[in-house]
Amino acid sequence: MKRFMLLLLSATLLSGGCASQKQASATHAGHAAYRTVLAALESQRFVVNLDEVYTRKGQKLDSHQSYLRMQGAFAEFCFAPDFFTPRNGHIMSRLRMPDEQADFEKIRTKRNGDIQFRIRSRRGWTETDCDCLMTLYHDSDRVYLEFFDYRGRPEGTAKGVVRPLKE
């Protein structure tokens, strides 16, 4: 009976060690992905693949082929065709074109570790400016985006995954 208990105890300890080792390696991989994404954001070379897009009234829109790409001062906002129907008519439809004069800045780090960035689109005197507030969740490659018009009014929100831009 003692041998059986010893064998059971050692098997439990071994399996517990393996599980904690797997969890530690998954956590380490999560930290590595987070550091890679953070480096891509700070170097302004990234793509955000949007998987959820909402209007200012909370209506969920098709997010197929929607993304945000930034390469230095060049920013490209591309949304699915749902945004460009005449019935919607909100300012996000103007973000379809690339912008070569975008400003990107880190705003702050929240208490919970989330980091906020701002992308300000400055397209010249013929078109209005737009802002995008991006929140990178702590220890994740997921972001939450809020879009604002030139007066600071909300135009929509989105969620997505950040990926470094390939060379």
How many domains, in total, are found in the chain? 1
**CA-CA distance, 5 to 8, in Å (whole number)?**
5
In the prediction, which pLDDT does 93 show?
47
In the prediction, which pLDDT does 23 show?
47
In the prediction, which pLDDT does 48 show?
94
Which residues of the chain are under the pLDDT cut of 70?
1-30, 81-99, 122-129, 167
CB 133 within 8 A of CB 116: yes
In the prediction, which pLDDT does 32 show?
86
| Domain of residue 69, CATH code | 2.40.128.410
Q: Which range of residues forms the domain containing residue 59? A: 2-164
pLDDT, one tens digit per residue, over 16-36 is: 555 444 444 445 556 888 999
In the prediction, which pLDDT does 128 show?
56
From residue 38, give the alpha-carbon distance in Å to each of 31, 99, 140: 10, 22, 10
